[in-house]
Amino acid sequence: MRIGIFYNHKQVDRENALRLSRMIRGQGGEAFVFSRISDMKGVDRLIVLGGDGTILRVAKRASEMDIPLVGVNYGNLGFLAEFERGEEERAADLVLSDCVVVRRSMLEVDIDGQKSYCLNELALLHSVNERNPNGIVRISVEIDGKKAGDFSADGLIVATPTGSTAYSLSAGGCIMTPDSETFILTPVCAFSLRSRPIVFPDSCTLTLSFAKDSLMLYGDGDYLGKADGERKLTVRKAVRTARFLTVDPNGYFRRLTEKINH
């Protein structure tokens, strides 16, 4: 089996990745070490050494190639990681075994035909500049062509179940388990007390319009571009999925308690 080892060179010493590669070769596998996402090719499974941000970026690229991965946390929270620093040998054992693969749904964001993909969330935020130093945005939402509401807020978040424990949760959204077939729409600092998060089936298509407002779009924290009244923005469930290897498919609530509820 061909195992890729991606390491974030800002967080992880290369020698740690090389040590892990020797463990894998010692168990009869092939190991390839790299620190550039563009080098991710020709592998059957992937170990990611880094924090949650690193795992997010790598998972999006891996989803294009349908490569399953497992994370070893070298960051802070490490909610997406299966193992902690020092547990690299367990990660090596996992990727070489007949283990469970969990699929995580993703968002497909379409801006006038230009598509981007998100594992956690799409965030639409107002821009702050001399002409709009502290304004709010007005976003009209349709779900499968039916009006779902108008939101006046600092912005809006569309999150997957995986992303429901990230930015959306901080903005007042609920937690959705990874196997939930739903997405959540969460306003950011809404102007009205009537504006509340909306959970909707992931089979629906979300259409967003902004009147004259100009919004900054971020996918999993990465800048995607701007949207305004002249551009059509739709969000739907992506065909591709992120695939995660796990030793405990029922360990979500344990991880939730250990990582977030502390």
List pLDDT tens digits, range 22-59.
999 999 999 999 999 999 999 999 999 999 999 999 99
| Active-site annotation holds for 179 | no
Helices (H), the chain: 14-26, 52-65, 88-95, 167-170, 252-259
Distance CA 85, CA 75 (A): 9
User: How do residues 197-246 score in pLDDT, each as one tens digit?
Assistant: 999 999 999 999 887 667 889 999 999 988 877 778 999 999 999 999 99
Rounded to two decimals, the pTM is: 0.92
Residue in 52, 202, 213, 220 annotated catalytic: 52
- The set of residues, in sequence order, having a beta carbon less than 8 Å from that of 255 and lying 6+ positions away, is 79
DSSP state of 38: G
**Straight-line distance from the first to the last Cα atom of the chain, in angstroms, rounded to the nearest whole number:** 38
